[in-house]
Chains A and B, each alone.
Chain A
Amino acid sequence: AQTVTQSQPEMSVQEAETVTLSCTYDTSENNYYLFWYKQPPSRQMILVIRQEAYKQQNATENRFSVNFQKAAKSFSLKISDSQLGDTAMYFCAFRPNSGYALNFGKGTSLLVTP
């Protein structure tokens, strides 16, 4: 079984600052995908960024980047230049190549303050 752990239930950051959300996972698989999803108050889960485990280079999408440490099974999300619209729940998720279901963590509630 795969488990995803997000150790920070809540975080707060000031506008324009940088924040890092933590995620660790446990798996015996070697090939898999990792994701960060954002869930704003509108409730729709939106894909922020994804990482293929076979790629050593960390994924980047504009202000969002990840620090993927495969040996440590760690997948943190860095948000640079935080904006008020980044306020949301953030979920880390895992999917093995052999499967199709996303396994989610419990989420981190991020509040961006002016």
Chain B
Amino acid sequence: ETGVTQTPRHLVMGMTNKKSLKCEQHLGHNAMYWYKQSAKKPLELMFVYSLEERVENNSVPSRFSPECPNSSHLFLHLHTLQPEDSALYLCASSQTLRDYGYTFGSGTRLTVV
């Protein structure tokens, strides 16, 4: 048990599909993050939520839509993705926004065909 759980672990979707990634933490953390990890590239911060409010949207295309219904759950809704969106999507949480202790999930490996 990692403390941050991501589902599904693997996802294959067509370019016209709509799917959602889920992240859940029961650590009592107030900040949650989505990162994209592509091969040979640094991790890219996508979205940041603090106390269920989005505080950063890092120039992410609108085909990615985040949702944070409460402090324990974070979703990433996907629609009309492109093959270059194939990557590992990592969720992380921290006690507060400027806490230096991130806890990561194991990610969702997304393949867009």
A residues touching B (Cβ–Cβ < 8 Å)?
Answer: 4, 33, 35, 37, 42-47, 50, 91, 95, 97, 99-107
Contacts and interface: CB of A to CB of B under 8 A. Distances in A.
B90 to A, nearest CB: 7
Contacts of B94: 100
Contacts, number: 48
Interface size of B as a range: 20 to 34
9 contacts: A4-B42, A43-B88, A45-B92, A45-B102, A47-B102, A97-B98, A100-B97, A101-B33, A102-B45
Interface of B: 2, 31, 33, 40-43, 45, 48, 55-56, 88, 90, 92, 94, 97-98, 100-102, 104-107, 109
Given A35-B100, A99-B98, 17 more contacts: A44-B2, A44-B104, A44-B105, A44-B107, A45-B90, A45-B104, A50-B100, A95-B100, A100-B48, A100-B55, A100-B98, A101-B45, A101-B48, A104-B43, A105-B42, A106-B42, A107-B42
Contacts of A50: 100
Contacts of A103: 42
A35 B94 CA distance: 15
Contacts of A45: 90, 92, 102, 104
A107 B42 CA distance: 7
A86 B30 CA distance: 31
